[in-house]
Structure 1
């Protein structure tokens, strides 16, 4: 009998697996842009542990293995900044990225009631990533250059009921 993938909040005990997964998943981005100094590949375990303490981090698990991860922080102006969405290469294209994205949005909404969601992604060459975010309601609002990489900024408004009580 096969196992199903579950999504839950990450804990400190997940830090090493998340960091290894992140390193694996962002290799293709680094290769595509010829830049192996991108943040997901240079982040330290201590930096990741600090993120686990201060923000929302969700993981997808297959048994005890972390096979997907995503993070969010909500800033003072009510923007939930979503980052580092990654899914193990062997499980990509099965809807797990969308499930993680929906889970982190729901978690941010339940804890901090954001007014909008924002992604900054290295996707101008990654049509699959752009397609995923558009499917979940995100629209491109600009680009910026970071070293050799063009970053695409995408946003979407949170449902009105998500931030009505915090306004």
Structure 2
């Protein structure tokens, strides 16, 4: 009998596992763009801990192992900025990324309620773009970061009933 994946709030003691998973997951992105200096690969443990303290993080666990994670913040305009959605390579394409994305959106539907959700990915990251579009995100801008990388920002409005209920 196999174990099931559970999603819960990230804890301070998860930071090291999240960072190791982040390093593993962003190898393909670095290879795709020919740039191993991207921020997810150079982020320090202290920086990650500070990021978790400033916002909210979720992890997916298989037993005691952190196998996926996502984090984000809500700014004063009501925009929830979702970042670093990662899933262990052996568990990709099984719906876990979508479950985490849904879970962080649900979290940010609480107080203070987000009016919109925003995230970004590289222009060649077809799997990410496909996932985000399937969840209702649409491209709103693109920024050239380097000779090979253009970041695409995608956004969607929060469901009207979510922020109307909090008004």
Instruction: Tell me what 2:132 maps to.
Output: 133
Q: Work out whether 1:14 is the aligned partner of 2:14.
A: yes
- Count residues in correspondence: 166
Q: Which segments of 5 or more consecutive residues in structure 1 lack a partner in the other structure?
A: none
Q: How does 1:77-116 map to 2 (within 5 A)?
A: 77-116=77-116
**What is the CA–CA distance in structure 2 between the aligned matches of 1:43 and 1:111, rounded to whole Å?**
29
Instruction: Tell me what 1:50 maps to.
Output: 50
Instruction: Tell me what 2:142 maps to.
Output: 143
Q: Measure how far apart 1:81 and its partner are.
A: 0.2
Q: Measure how far apart 1:166 and its partner are.
A: 4.4
CA RMSD of aligned residues (A): 1.0
Q: Measure how far apart 1:101 and its partner are.
A: 0.2
**What is the CA–CA distance in structure 1 between the aligned matches of 2:32 and 2:145, rounded to whole Å?**
14
Cα pair 2:69 2:84 within 8 Å, conserved? yes
Instruction: Flag the 1:166–1:111 CA change in 2: closer, same or farther, 3 A.
Output: closer
Please state whether the residue corresponding to 1:111 is helix, strand or coil: coil
**What is the CA–CA distance in structure 2 between the aligned matches of 1:109 and 1:22, rounded to whole Å?**
25
Instruction: Tell me what 1:153 maps to.
Output: 153
Q: TM-score, normalised by structure 2?
A: 0.96
Q: TM-score, normalised by structure 1?
A: 0.96
Please state whether the residue corresponding to 1:155 is helix, strand or coil: strand
Q: Which segments of 5 or more consecutive residues in structure 2 lack a partner in the other structure?
A: none
Q: Measure how far apart 1:112 and its partner are.
A: 2.1
Q: Measure how far apart 1:109 and its partner are.
A: 1.1
Point out 4+ residue stretches in structure 1 off by more than 6 angstroms: none
Cα pair 2:25 2:86 within 8 Å, conserved? yes
Cα pair 2:111 2:166 within 8 Å, conserved? no
Instruction: Tell me what 1:76 maps to.
Output: 76
Instruction: Tell me what 2:38 maps to.
Output: 38
**Cα-to-partner distance string for 1:32-61 (whole Å, 9 max, x where unaligned):** 101111110111100111122121100000
